[in-house]
A and B are shown apart, each in its own frame.
Chain A
Amino acid sequence: MRVAITSQGRDMESLLDRRFGRAAFFCVADTDTGELTIHDNAQNLNAAQGAGIQAGSNVAGLDVEALITGNVGPKAYAVLKAAGIRIYLAPDGTVAESLQRFKDGLLEESLSANVEGHWI
C-alpha cells in the first residue's frame, strides 16, 4: 500500500513535518515494494488561503491509502476523508521512524481534525 508522510526534507531520515497544509514535502512510500518518491509542496507554502485544502487535494492525487502527519485541520480533514484517505497522527521523529510506527500498528487512525483551522 502507498502511504504519504509529511516531511521537512527530501529523504527518509528527514524529520516528520508536523504541519500538513504547509508541509515542505510529501514522501510517498510503498510498503509492499519499498519504492519511495518525494513530492515538493512549495506552491502551498505561499498560498493566500486554503493551504490545507490544496494539500489534501494534492495528496488525493498521489494515489495513497493513508497519510501520516502531525496536525490536520478541519478543512484538510474533510478533503482527505472525501478522498477516502485514512489519517494517522504521529509523534515527533524521522519519516522512517513514522513509517515504521505505522507498519507496527502503533499509530491510531484519527477520526477527526486535531487542530482548529487557521486562516491560511
Chain B
Amino acid sequence: MKEIVVISGKGGTGKTSITAAFAGLAKKCVLADCDVDAADLHLLLQPQVRERYEFSGGGRAEIKAEKCLKCGLCRQLCRFDAVRRPADGSSFLTVNSLACEGCGLCVHICPAGAIEFKPVVDGEWYVSDTRMGSMVHACLYPGEGNSGKLVTLVRSRAREIAAGNESDYLLVDGSPGLGCPVIASLAGSDLAVIVTEPTVSGEHDLLRIAGLTKHFRVPTVVCINRSDINPAVSDRIAAVAEAQGIKVIGRVRYDKAVTEAQIAGKTVNEYTDGPVAGEILAAWHRIIDLSEGKE
C-alpha cells in the first residue's frame, strides 16, 4: 500500500481536483481529506457518512465570574493576549477563547482558583463510503486550531482502513502552506505530489514546499497544472524541479471542463474524455510506475 500526499505550497493550484481524479483512476484506494479547515473533496465524491467522531484539539481556560478577584495576574502573564479586562474595571475578567492556546498557566496561578481548564470539542471527523472507496475526512470548526492533531487522526484511520482492505493506494488531499497541518500530512508518507501552476507565485512557493518534503525525506514529484497559461514559466519550473532531482510527472492544461466537473459534482476524468483527462491519466500512470519502482 502506497501513501500518496497531494500538496501545493501555494493555494488554489488544483490539489483537490487532481486528487479526486486520481482516486477515480486508481483500482483500489482509500481517500483522506487532510485539508481539514477548508475541506472540499466531499463536494466531488459525495461521501455517505458511516462513522462520526468528535475531535478535541486541547482545552481552553474559563474564568468563573463569582470567584474572580479581578487581580489581573492572569492577564499579566498570558502570552497570547487571551485575557480581557472589561473597560468598566469593576467587572470580572474573561478569556477570549479564540485567542486562548490552552497552555493552562492562568489555571495554575490564579490565587482564587477561579479559572478552570475545559476540554473543548473543536471539530468532527468521519469515516465514509464513496464510489471511489472509503474516505476519512474531517471538519475543524471554523476558527479553531491544532489542525495537525486532526490531520494525524484522519491519516491514521485511513491507513488502518487501507491496510485492512488491502488497498493499493491511500490518496491524501493536503492543505496549502507548509505549517503544521501539512507537516502532519507528510511525515512518513511514500510520495509527495506537488501540484503547482506556471506563475511566479507558483514557482516561488514550489521551492519552499519542496524544501519541506526534502526536510522530511519524502520522495517528491511535481505536476504542473494549467501549464498552458504560461509555457515559458512552465518550462522554467520544470527545469528548476529537475535540477533538484524532482521529476515532473505531468503537465495538465487549463480547461473549463475542470470547473464544469466541479459544478457537476464529478471528477474531471468522469466528466470528460478530452485532452485534459488524458493528461491527468498520464500523470497517474507515471505515479504508478514510480510506486512500483519501474522508474
Contact = CB atoms under 8 A, between A and B. Distances in A.
A–B contact, 8 Å CB criterion (strictly below): yes
Interface of A: 46, 48-49, 115-120
Given A48-B57, A48-B102, A118 B152 contact: yes
B216 A116 contact: yes
A117 B146 contact: no
B188 A49 contact: no
A91 B188 CA distance: 20
B261 interface: no
B188 A119 contact: no
Contacts of B184: 118-119
B49 interface: no
Contacts of A49: 58, 146, 149
Nearest to A118: B152
A74 to B, nearest CB: 10
A46 B56 contact: yes
Nearest to A48: B58
Interface string B116-155: 0000000000000000000000000000001011011100
B82 interface: no
B239 to A, nearest CB: 31
B68 interface: no
B153 A117 contact: no
A119 B152 contact: yes
A14 to B, nearest CB: 19
Using C-beta atoms within 8 Å of the partner chain, give the interface range for chain B. 10 to 19
Given A116-B216, A119-B180, A119-B183, A48 B149 contact: yes
B187 interface: yes
B57 A119 contact: no
Contacts of B149: 48-49, 119-120
A118 B187 CA distance: 7
B187 A116 contact: yes
A118 B216 CA distance: 12
A116 B186 CA distance: 10
Contacts of A48: 56-59, 102, 146, 149
Contacts of B57: 48
Contacts of B153: 120
B3 to A, nearest CB: 12
Nearest to B156: A118
Nearest to A117: B187
Nearest to B217: A116
A120 to B, nearest CB: 5
Contacts of B156: 118
A104 to B, nearest CB: 28
Across chains A and B, which 5 residue pairs bring their CB atoms closest together, nearest first? A119-B148, A48-B58, A119-B184, A116-B188, A116-B187
Interface string B168-194: 000000000000100110011000000
Given A48-B58, A48-B102, A115 B148 contact: no
26 contacts: A46-B56, A48-B56, A48-B57, A48-B58, A48-B59, A48-B146, A48-B149, A49-B58, A49-B146, A49-B149, A115-B188, A116-B187, A116-B188, A117-B187, A118-B152, A118-B156, A118-B184, A118-B187, A119-B151, A119-B180, A119-B183, A119-B184, A119-B187, A120-B148, A120-B152, A120-B153
